[in-house]
Structure 1
């Protein structure tokens, strides 16, 4: 649950999906059962996601749609502008289920100003239901928590991070879970760079599943909401078929790699201010 609203446990990510094919592949994802679409202003495909959701014919209330304020617009005024532009791109949907701050850039003043813009948009426009953050380090989370407690307003409903067995971010996940914040995992398939790892292949053979399905199952059993991305129909379908098997404790333990090797940008570690 996010602020009283249900969030589907597997989302469909559209990072780096070209705008000209976004509508088609998002429609396919919705057709095969996804009910959660994760976009961002930075991806430049918000309008196409909205178009797909409308064309799907599925009741709007059944679909959870996310967007994000870009890292380059982390100040009060810039975030207000970005939020309004995202609302405009998603106007056919009526509202955005979740709006995140994409990364902890802009320094303290910029981060807190952007959060204030989110809180105001949530309260005043009725177009944003829930708010949260992405790629925030512990220091940024503590900073925001203090601001909220001191009257800044709002509630961190979701934290979105690159998370998989080779980048577990256990400290951040624990911080979020202790506060009842939903943890979303982007790049849960490690951008297909680890599919031949022996530890993963052993589980593939044991369960007669694909590497992607094993990784998504790991994420689900950790209590996360994974956001797999694919533009290939067969893989879109495959990534949704993860509810008919379970990894044992031994299986899960075998994926404790102890490796910290993000495949994406890493503002969690690199943004210090």
Structure 2
């Protein structure tokens, strides 16, 4: 008995997926939004604007000329209508039909009947409409386009990893307070020392310096403290001060940028200090 109950649930899942229950109203048809001229005697239906797609070009709506089955549970009446128009004042589950068809479905109605059930004939769905994911099993298997978007969302954390690595590398080259004070005193007395504003272009070019193809060639410069981590003024090279008070600058690792360290300038003041 339990097996039969499960089988019954599977059997009714297809029509329920595209079933709606709303109000039935009537209108005077004319030039429909699907580009056809309709009359009162036509078995046509106007669907809510919340379900009809492509409002900028209604004639190209993919649901035009598709059919729905309308059922009145009070009278037991069933009829088929063709989608040819858009109902701008309808809620998402409501439908609007010509008065002749309204009188067939709800002969005792007064212009609006609640609880009218309707489904798409053949199980088709409204593309891009709310609840579009409630499609039949066959349609679900034919629309794997959802998978790439979820895969792209899962890939976001890995794309952020280079940024985390940059922050770790930056923390490793921050100079000691004594070295920072020495750099500040020299920059204030030397006319050729880089100003604070010079750091802004270097920081602004962070993304460009992170590209492996833009890394500069190695170069050498003088320094003042043995063992000190030294960065070039533009933040693209890094090296360690040797016992000879010189440093061999080389490109920073791909994807990182040397910032906040001692900015070496090969000028006479530094050479004089080394002597």
TM-score by structure 2 length? 0.18
TM-score by structure 1 length? 0.18
Structure with greater helix percent = 1
Larger relative contact order (CA 8 Å, sep ≥ 6): 1
Which structure's CA Rg is the greater one? 2
